[in-house]
Structure 1
Amino acid sequence: MEKVKDSLIDSQIISGNEHETVKVTFTTTSGQSNSVQSTANHDTVSDTPSNFSKLNQIDLTKVNISDLNTTIDATKLGKIN
């Protein structure tokens, strides 16, 4: 979760504050779908699995923050495999 959050901050998609929520949905090595969610200002998530196999989806929520309308250049975003 922390690496995903850091990538979103580096890409200027989120600011990393308490008004943003990041939910990461992934597949484990056993094939089970799972997700973790946290506010963007937390550096650790206690239930982040060590058997992570594949990233499926990232959901972002931003609430009442000044940079909500920041324009993001899609060409700067990296492809997640």
Structure 2
Amino acid sequence: MTAVSTVCAGRYCLQRSLATALLCRLRGVWPTWCTGVRTPPFSAHAWVEAEGRQVGGPPGTASYRPVLTVPRTPAP
């Protein structure tokens, strides 16, 4: 994702995580998309998880507490 988009590179975790989740979905796989926060100092982060682990996140992001997660929903 970061190789083809300057918007997704660097500190733009929200755009990067959404683009990654959508790309996975286009390929038939739905990872869990998450947003979370940590304190102190306050900081927010968005990421993608597969099999309960963060995928490609920078070091030091394990301290974020999930606030919103969007898991795969089972088909009816």
Q: TM-score range by the shorter chain?
A: 0.3 to 0.5
Normalising to structure 2: TM-score of the pair? 0.40
Q: Which has the higher contact order (CA 8 A, sep 6+)?
A: 1
